[in-house]
Every structure is written in C-alpha cells, then in structure tokens.
Amino acid sequence: MLASWLTGVVTLLIVTFAACTSSSVSSTETSRPTATDSTGGVESSPPALRRNSPFSLDDRAAWRAALKWPTSCEEAFESSKAGEDGGLAVHELAPRVAIVEVLCASGAYQPSHVYLRYDQQGASATATLLEFPVLTSGDGSSIEKSVETEVWGESWFSPDAYEMSVLTLSRQLADCGIWSRYALSGRQPVLTAASARLPCPASQGPPAQFANGNSPLRWPSVSLSK
C-alpha cells in the first residue's frame, strides 16, 4: 500500500514538472523579437532614392511617389518623352536638402520643368513645390510678372545650388527672349536679376549665349521694382 502511494506521488511530481517546463518554453518563444525580413518584411526600410544621374524611368517613378509633383507635369512628360531617360536632376543644397528638377514637356525648342525642395532633416521628409516669380511677354514687347510652378526655358544652377538662372526664348531662332536669375537659399525662389531682348528683331540676330548662367551679352536689364 505504501508503495502504491509513493508511486502516485512520483507520478504527480513528474506531470507537474513537465507542465511547468512546457509553459516556460512557450512563454520564451512568444516574447522573442521578430527577426528582420531581408526580403521586405515590416522591419525593412524602403530603398534609398537615387541622387546621381543617369536617372531611369523607374527612378522617376520612385521619386514621384516621394515628391508627388503635379499630374499635369507628368502627363506632359509622358506625351513628349523620348527614350528611357527619367528627366530628373538633383541639386544638393545642404546636407539632406536638395532641389529636384523635374522635366515636364520637352517642347519644340525649349523644355519646361517643375522644381521641388526635398528636405530630409526633420523626423519625416517634406517636399515643397517651388513657386517662381516669372517674367513673360504676352504681346512680344511688354513684360509682365506672374507666379508659376512650371518654368519654361533652359536652366543653370550654381555649384552650391543657391542660385539658378533661366533663359526663356521667344522663338526657335534663339535670338530673343527673357533671362532671369533666382536665389534659392530661402523656402521659395526670389527673383534677383533679369534682362530681355524684346521685341524680337525683324531679321535674325545672333543666338543668345547662356554661358555659366549669365545674361546674354547686350541684353538690356529689366527693372524688378514693378
């Protein structure tokens, strides 16, 4: 009888120990940190955006997902693009801050672009569509100022990207039009200088030279006080 009692006690101890061991293992497995999924799990980071040319169409799609530039620009690019070039340029303004130049329309003799300031210095990245004070001539003679996000003409950036110039031609002969210079150090562009050759001459003149972003020679300055 004593033997039977001892056998029962031993059996109970064994069952209790097994249950405790199983509970401890289960608890340990539940609290184990999730391993990083190298194939794209929740802990993986999105791929870095390419910042140096050449840019492919896939690069453009990745940048548009981040910057979300206007649909009108993208539609103009789709209807006028030729080849596989992504139509982008990234101008580094400061560590983790850049001006992104986005080609819209290729144009018959000059392109159009939108520009965005991409700032990654904060807790989350921000993209700001730049608004330019643009000089135009609707009648080919007088000059008017408006604020535009899409800029027509050939562009030039200083090495530090703090300054930008645009040469907007009035005709394909490239002998007349408006030249503008902008400061880009602030949140939005500031028009700092301009010159123009208007109206276009009756006979063809020499093509405008746009060396190092400077105004074409002998183009009269335009007053910015208006």
pLDDT at 27: 39
Is residue 182 a part of any domain in this protein? yes
Question: CA-CA distance, 127 to 132, in Å (whole number)?
Answer: 16
Is residue 83 a part of any domain in this protein? yes
pLDDT at 225: 81
Q: How many domains does the chain have?
A: 2
pLDDT at 41: 34
Same domain, 120 and 135: no
Same domain, 50 and 122: yes
Helix intervals (H) in 103-159:
none
Is residue 186 a part of any domain in this protein? yes
Is residue 4 a part of any domain in this protein? no
Is the preceding peptide bond at 206 cis, omega within 30 degrees of 0? no
Is residue 108 a part of any domain in this protein? yes
Q: Is 101 exposed, middle or buried (0-12, 13-18, 19+ CB in 10 A)?
A: buried
Same domain, 153 and 123: no
For residue 197, what are the domain limits?
A: 131-216
Q: Which of 110, 129, 148 is the last residue of a domain?
A: 129
Q: What does each of the 226 residues of the chain score in pLDDT, given as a tens digit?
A: 434 444 454 444 444 444 444 444 343 333 333 333 333 333 333 458 999 889 999 999 999 999 999 999 999 999 999 899 999 999 999 999 999 999 999 998 999 999 999 999 999 999 999 999 999 998 999 999 999 999 999 999 999 999 999 999 999 999 999 999 999 999 999 999 999 999 999 999 899 999 899 999 999 999 998 6
Question: CA-CA distance, 41 to 146, in Å (whole number)?
Answer: 48
Same domain, 153 and 195: yes
Is residue 63 a part of any domain in this protein? yes
pTM, rounded to two decimals: 0.78
pLDDT at 184: 97
pLDDT at 226: 62
Is residue 19 a part of any domain in this protein? no
Same domain, 124 and 197: no
Q: Three-state DSSP class for 71? A: helix
Question: CA-CA distance, 102 to 208, in Å (whole number)?
Answer: 24
